[in-house]
Amino acid sequence: MSMASGGDHPSSSHHKHTNRLAQERSPYLLQHAHNPVDWYPWGQEAFEKAKREDKPIFLSVGYSTCHWCHVMERESFEDEEIGKILSDNFVCIKLDREERPDVDKVYMTFVQATSGGGGWPMSVWLTPDLRPFIGGTYFPPRDQGRRPGFKTVLMRITEQWQNNRAALESSGERIIDALKKGTTIAANPGESPPLAPDVANRCFQQLFPSPVNLMFLISYWSVNRCTSEGVEALQMAMHTLRMMALGGIHDHVAQGFHRYSTDSSWHVPHFEKMLYDQAQLAVAYITAFQVSGEQFYADVARDILLYVSRDLSDKSGGFYSAEDADSVPASGGREKQEGAFCVWTASEVRELLADVVEGAVGAATLADIFMHHYGVKEQGNVAPEQDPHGELQGKNVLIVRYSVELTAAHFGLTVEKVNELMTSARARMAEARKSRPRPHLDTKMLASWNGLMLSAFARVGAVLGDEALLERAVGAGNFLKEHLWDPDQQIILRSCYHGDQMEVSPPIRGFLDDYAFIVCGLLDLYEATFQTEWLQWAEELQIRQDMLFWDEQGGGYFCSDPSDGAVLLRLKEDQDGAEPSANSVSASNLLRLSQYTGRQDWLQKSLQLLAAFSDRLTRIPIALPEMVRALMAQHYTLQQVIKTPSGYIDRVVLMHTDGSPESFLCRRLPALSSMTQLDGAATAYVCQDFTCSLPVTEPQELRRLLLDRTPLSHPC
């Protein structure tokens, strides 16, 4: 299972063991710098040693906030006996999956194909030429019943390598050859994308909650507003977003969302906080606000960005990757526990919120009201089945159990008074939490995740008209250009790190998702600010993305750089999971850019990309809900609008022009030069399929025009 934790080591400089990972910048690799294992980072030094000594490679893959990665480190990689077995018989490589998603994808594909499952930590054994022959995930250190422990696995592989090597190599070769054939995604000659309504309807029937699915539901509603299915889609999205925000997956004290819930009521979360979750959820909540007009959803979106600004932001303008799930309990001890930073005992709440509330029924204290509202129980509110390791026994995960109206009625108070009290109580608890040992913070700044967060700040700032959020978005754009763009080589860099020396040496070249997510972020930033420099850079990056990753034969984009001979498989990501796939985002980017630049080749590329994924879209569209949204945008066509409309209108491209023939947009779309202001007022034109409306100066008229021109799958 991919879970999460902190793996920080004591700050003392006195260590019994130090290996070459101490020279790395990745927080994950640094966490293993003092294992009694002769670790190497992924690279030529390790590959050459394996060939020179004719040893198999043990590849261990994870990330710095991965709970089970640190369990395996503590149990196995810090074990002297296991460390010696590893170092004597294998060339041991430790890899941060967030730094090298291309390598991770190749070997995860192998593990999933051979074991039927996957996750992190990932353990794979390779030949000296990097071909996998055995793989798995977490291994306990010693045998447990019928399950062999890590030591036993290592000894068996060592024996097989010495006595049955040919069979191991042959098996690995066959599997890689099969994967090369089985993972091919390409369009047949002349193939067109599948029909959008059919795919969208099938996707709707297969859904479960995640940010990409919630955004699909809202898009589905936007073209099916007059059908029962459309209404149901919207209800599903809004209800899910509301219950998530009220649940324990939402940090009610210090904002932001934990990674996922372990139960169906969104109560007990896995406490890790990931940057990419915050980014996508902020966009989902601000979209829900646009659709519904309910301030609740806007407040949650702002709440998420408050957390990111405070706890995941670097002074350079970039965003950190994650906060851990585990931390040292405030009560003391060295052993980290999941959720220790976030959970509360009833006695802690009573001590912090002991003051009696004037006018409350029964002389209730602030603690009484808070505990009632947030489901705090004297014995703790976490059921044993929600706490398999017993780390949350007697603790409470805050979850909104009653509406403010019901809580107010229960204690004989006004709604306004209860809101005021809860705000004050949360602030006190947030202050108290500052004294607790903080979870590990992964200060790696990834290009792709920063692109997602750029979109979040730009879109939320634009909808709310919040200049501070827009300034933070511009700061993120400047960070990407200053620290993760190599103007000499014209490439995006994958990552940089917090500290005096931001740049990484040697730098890791960016992957497809880095380009795609940044391009999307830049387009959102342009639409939020109308600063042309961001649109220009988006165009430049799309050109580079096409040169580096486009598949001329089959259509769509490969995930990794084809020049890297150490990556055995050229894969195209075919799933919108915790993050949207870069091909899904690129399908929308190409369509949007074709509207901004007039480049029909980008429109055709978008169609070719969708055609390449036709089989996946037709059979299991739930795997690619973000790509289904792009397919719907192609089918129902984008509208070009100059001026942000109020409310939510899907599939709109926003442009701003002063009509100057020398401007960026007018040089690419000469027709814009003829669009002028009426009587000096802000003027909008709505264009679709190269046909434009008469000029509009009133916001309500613009909204009506957009709604009238929005194609519906089922007209009212």
Strands 337-338 and 326-327: antiparallel
Q: Show which of 404, 419, 435 is a domain's final residue.
A: 435
The DSSP secondary structure of 197-264, one letter per residue, reads HHHHHHHHHT---SHHHHHHHHHHHHH-TTSHHHHHHHHHHHHHHHHHHHSTTB-TTT-SB-SEESST
Nearest to 477 by CA among 344, 339, 318: 318
C-beta of residue 253 within 8 angstroms of C-beta of residue 342: yes
Which CATH number characterizes residue 104's domain? 3.40.30.10
Name the amino acid, one letter, at 9: H
Phi/psi at 132 (5° precision): -75, 145
Q: From start to end of 325-450, where are the E strands?
A: 326-327, 337-338, 441-442, 444-446
Q: Which pLDDT score, from 0 to 100, does residue 207 have? A: 66
Q: Show which of 182, 198, 221 is a domain's final residue.
A: 182
How many domains, in total, are found in the chain? 3
Q: Which pLDDT score, from 0 to 100, does residue 389 have? A: 80
Residue 396 within a domain = yes
Cα separation, 455 vs 279, whole angstroms: 7
pLDDT mean values, one per 10 residues, the chain (716 residues)? 37 77 94 97 96 96 92 94 96 96 92 87 95 92 87 95 91 82 76 82 76 90 89 94 96 95 88 96 96 96 98 96 92 84 96 94 95 97 88 95 96 97 97 95 96 98 96 98 95 86 74 98 96 96 96 92 82 90 97 92 95 92 92 76 51 74 80 73 75 78 72 65
Residue 272 within a domain = no
C-beta of residue 200 within 8 angstroms of C-beta of residue 610: no
- C-alpha 250: how far from its chain's center? 16
Q: Which pLDDT score, from 0 to 100, does residue 357 have? A: 93
Residue with tokens 């809900």, as numbered in its chain: 625
Residue 695 within a domain = yes
Sheet-wide strand order for 652-654: 652-654, 639-641, 686-688, 691-692
Phi/psi at 269 (5° precision): -95, 170
Cα separation, 283 vs 242, whole angstroms: 14
Residue 111 within a domain = yes
Name the amino acid, one letter, at 651: R
Residue 444 within a domain = no
Phi/psi at 255 (5° precision): 70, 170
Q: CA of 673: how far to CAs of 181, 530, 659, 687, in Å?
A: 51, 17, 4, 14
Q: CA of 241: how far to CAs of 109, 319, 400, in Å?
A: 32, 24, 14
Q: CA of 60: how far to CAs of 29, 94, 95, 302, in Å?
A: 10, 5, 6, 38
C-beta of residue 544 within 8 angstroms of C-beta of residue 490: yes
Residue 553 within a domain = no
Nearest to 584 by CA among 574, 598, 593: 574
* Rounded-to-5 percentages of helix, strand, coil across the chain: 50, 10, 40
Three-state DSSP class for 96? strand
Q: Show which of 417, 435, 453 is a domain's final residue.
A: 435
Range of the domain at 641: 637-716
Cα separation, 422 vs 418, whole angstroms: 6
Cα separation, 511 vs 585, whole angstroms: 14
For the record, the structure tokens of 360 come out as 């409350």
The whole model's pTM is what?
Answer: 0.89
Q: Which pLDDT score, from 0 to 100, does residue 434 have? A: 94
Residue 355 within a domain = yes
Nearest to 609 by CA among 321, 514, 594, 37: 594
Residue 290 within a domain = no
